[in-house]
Each structure stands twice: as structure tokens, then as C-alpha cells.
Amino acid sequence: MSAHVISFIKATRPAETGRGFKSFKSSRVIPYTRRCCRDALIQAALDPEVTRLFPYDAPAGTPPDTFFTFGVQIADRSCLLALCDETTGATFSPPDGFTLGFCLNRETILAEPILTTSRTVWSKREVLVPPLFSIRLLKRLASDPGGVALGTLEDDLVDEPIRWVDYVLAMACTGLVTVDCRQPLTHATLVKITTYQSDRSSMHWLY
């Protein structure tokens, strides 16, 4: 299922918070007010179905307890998401350009194991990956498009015995590879070369 994801935000008085989110899927910094907003954006950034993130103010019609909004497009579905204090699982009439307005609460975003796995992967986003390592890993994954278990890659990347896992996760933060964030990070975690043809989005609350 190919993905084109539009992510956007509503932040209350963003200039006063001084916090913003930037990823390879956003052309500018996206302001946010709560840590769980950042977690939602991290999950979207690491989702292979999501291809773009951008700020978008919450329209009229969202629940009164909405504190943040962003949009995702997966396959032919364009969804405007409203993060709420309590409301979850409800729908609302979205603005033009979106096919669905959907509410989810903080508890949904903070569900495990995707929360910890996504945070762990994103924590490696500033690690500098040696070009030779990147080329070798992409070559290895291209030969097995179904994905390779993280533990199996150790045999192919023995030249980097200390930081090779950090390098793999850093590449996921730039979109070169995808890591299955729906499960805990273990030796069995599946790593794939990015193709934007995942069978299922890791944004579990859409299913």
C-alpha cells in the first residue's frame, strides 16, 4: 500500500513554547506543545506509509478537548487527526482535501511497544553514518526486499562491531530503511529497504 502522508499541527501559542519537530518528511519545523504531540510526529516520520509532514491549524468541528492536529495520507485516504485529552475513536467532518477526520487521545499515542521503539529509533537521528556502511547495508537489504532481522545483519556488518545498530537506526530516521516499530526492538526486529509499499501502516490507531 503506497503512502503519501500529510502531517500537520495545531499548537497553542507556539512562539511561547520554543519547541518544534523537524524530520526528512517536513520542509520546516513543526511547533508542538506536548511531548505526546512529538511522539505522534515521530511515529508518523518513521512510518513507511507517510511521505510528508507539515503544520496545519485545527479547523472548526474538532472536539473541544483537541490540543493538537496533524494529517496523514495513506494510499488513497487523506486523514486529519485530532489529538484530544479524552475523545478517541470518534470522527468529525474534515476540511476540503481530507477524506476523514479522526480523533485519538494521549493514551493511544503512548501505547506500547510502539512508543518506546519509536523513541529509541529517533534518538539515533543525529548519528553520523559512514557512507560505506550505508552502501553495504542498502545492498544487503536490496537482495532481500522482504526484510532482514536486525540480529542477522550483524554477520554482514562485522566491520562495525560497536555502533552498527546505531547506524541502522539512524538510517531509519533519514528514510533510507524502515524498522518495524510496532514491536519491541530486538534481534528479531525486521529491517527493510524503503519502498513505500508496506502492507500496513505502523500508525496502529488507524486500524
* Mean pLDDT, range 65-69, rounded to an integer: 93
Specify the fold of 115-205.
Answer: Arc Repressor Mutant, subunit A (1.10.10)
Which pLDDT score, from 0 to 100, does residue 191 have? Answer: 96
67 contacts: CB under 8 Å, gap ≥ 6: 10, 12, 33, 34, 37, 83, 84, 85
Task: Give the Cα separation of 185 and 89 in Å (integer).
Answer: 28
What's the whole-model pTM score? 0.82
The contacts of residue 45 (CB under 8 Å, 6+ apart) are 23, 24, 25, 26, 53, 122, 173
**Which pLDDT does position 205 carry in this prediction?**
53
Mean of pLDDT values over 180-191: 95
Per-residue pLDDT of 72-116, as tens digits, reads 777 777 888 899 999 999 999 989 988 888 898 999 999 999 999
Spatial neighbors of 159 by CB under 8 A, at least 6 apart, are: 133
Q: Of residues 79 and 167, which shows the higher confidence score?
A: 167
At residue 10, does pLDDT exceed 60? no
Residue 204: per-residue pLDDT: 55
Best-predicted range by mean pLDDT (1-5, 29-33, 38-42, 203-207): 38-42
Q: Where are the domains of the chain?
A: 14-110, 115-205
For the ranges 36-50, 58-72, 126-140, 149-163, the lowest mean pLDDT is seen at 149-163
Q: Is the pLDDT of residue 207 over 60?
A: no
